[in-house]
Amino acid sequence: MSGRRHKISLAALSLFVTAAVWAAPPDMACVYNGVYTPLFRSLTDPTNVPVKNFRLDVTPATNAKFLEFVRANPRWQRSQVKRIFADENYLKHWAGDLDPGTNALPDQPVVWVSWFAAKAYAQWQGKRLPTVAEWEAAAAASPAFADGTKDVAFQRDIFRWYSTAAPAVLPGVGSGPANFWGIHDLHGLVWEWVADFNTATVTGDARGDTGLDRQLFCGAGAVGAKDVENFPAFMRYGFRSSLKAAYTVHNLGFRCAKDL
């Protein structure tokens, strides 16, 4: 009798543990039933790809957090990093190896970081970089809807950011509105690294594309689409595909993801 009761309480405990795993830590939010609509796909590929439930950081990584990371991992300090893993502009706006200084305020998103550095940071946190599919699925959400692609005001705001020059001083993370999932700054602050940034490569050139493998590149066809929302997507894919893993850029940061 007592043995059975014990079993039941174990089951209850395991249920509790499962629930605890499902509740994301406060700095991450869960994205459920995500759908990814690839911008470039072959005629036989599905239009929409389901994305497994996952967690995503609520904000991009900050200078403050990145300072903790390089303190704990000296090989990622500016003077220590191998050139093959980050170009010569790596953390160029920091005052020193362990001193972000006045040009990199603690709550600003960390920029001038390479894909390798972002990946190492994520691992250090027990996380990983999101995939293109995950990032796009999370970023499709407007403040009101999980699928914000038909939210006109939301799309207009995104577009405004893409077509204005970068500000001299970046705002802090979390200053923009939260989206449906409670995630901030996917649009309107910085570009973000993703794990597979170079999978959906586009030369972006209408003349060049004609000679390329159409199974991979439907770019020319998609340009003609009447889908207004595609234009920001084009710019994101274009931006990602201009990168190499060691590149660092003034308006390129990252955030981490985790399996549920």
Partner 1 sequence: MMKQNILKQTNARHLMLAAGLFLFAGTTLAADAPSNSVKPADPEAIGQEIATVTQAPNVPPPIKRKHSAKVIVNLEVKEVTKRLADGVDYTFWTFGGDVPGSFIRIRVGDDVEFHLNNAPDSKLPHNIDLHAVTGPGGGATSSFTAPGHSSQFSFKALNPGLYIYHCATAPVGMHVANGMYGLILVEPEGGLPPVDHEYYVMQSEFYTSGAYGVEGLQSFDMNKAMDERPPYVVFNGAVGSLVGDKALTAKVGETVRLFVGNGGPNLTSSFHVIGEIFDNVYQEGGTLPTQHNVQTTLIPAGGSAIVEFKTDVPGTFILVDHALFRAFNKGALGMLKVSGPPDLLTYSGKEVDAIYLGSAAEAGSDAEKKVVALKAQMAAEIKGNPKIAGLTKDIQIEKGKGVYMQTCFVCHQPNGLGVPGQIPPLAESDFLLKNRDDAIRAVVIGRTGETLVNGKTFKGTMIPLAYLTDDQIANVLTYVRNTWGNAGDAVSTTDVAKIRAEAAAPGPSATPPPSKFE
Q: Which residues bind partner 1 (CB under 8 A)?
A: 84, 89, 159-160, 162-166, 196, 198-199, 201-208, 211-213, 219, 223, 226, 228, 230-231, 234-235, 237-239, 241-251
Closest CB to partner 1 among residues 182, 204? 204
To partner 1, the closest distance from the beta carbon of 216 in angstroms equals 8
Closest CB to partner 1 among residues 124, 159? 159
To partner 1, the closest distance from the beta carbon of 236 in angstroms equals 10
To partner 1, the closest distance from the beta carbon of 129 in angstroms equals 12
CA 42 to each of CA 38, 46, 137, 143, 222: distance values in angstroms, whole numbers, following the listed order: 10, 8, 20, 31, 12
Helix (H, G, I), strand (E, B) or coil at 224: coil
To partner 1, the closest distance from the beta carbon of 164 in angstroms equals 5
Closest CB to partner 1 among residues 63, 131? 131
Closest CB to partner 1 among residues 6, 160? 160
Block residue for tokens 């990983």: 128
Q: How far apart are CA 249 and CA 163, in angstroms?
A: 18
Q: Residue 213 is encoded by which pair of tokens? A: 């493998």
CA 189 to each of CA 74, 84, 117, 150, 193: distance values in angstroms, whole numbers, following the listed order: 28, 27, 20, 22, 13
- Are the C-beta atoms of residues 255 and 131 closer than 8 Å to each other? no
To partner 1, the closest distance from the beta carbon of 189 in angstroms equals 12
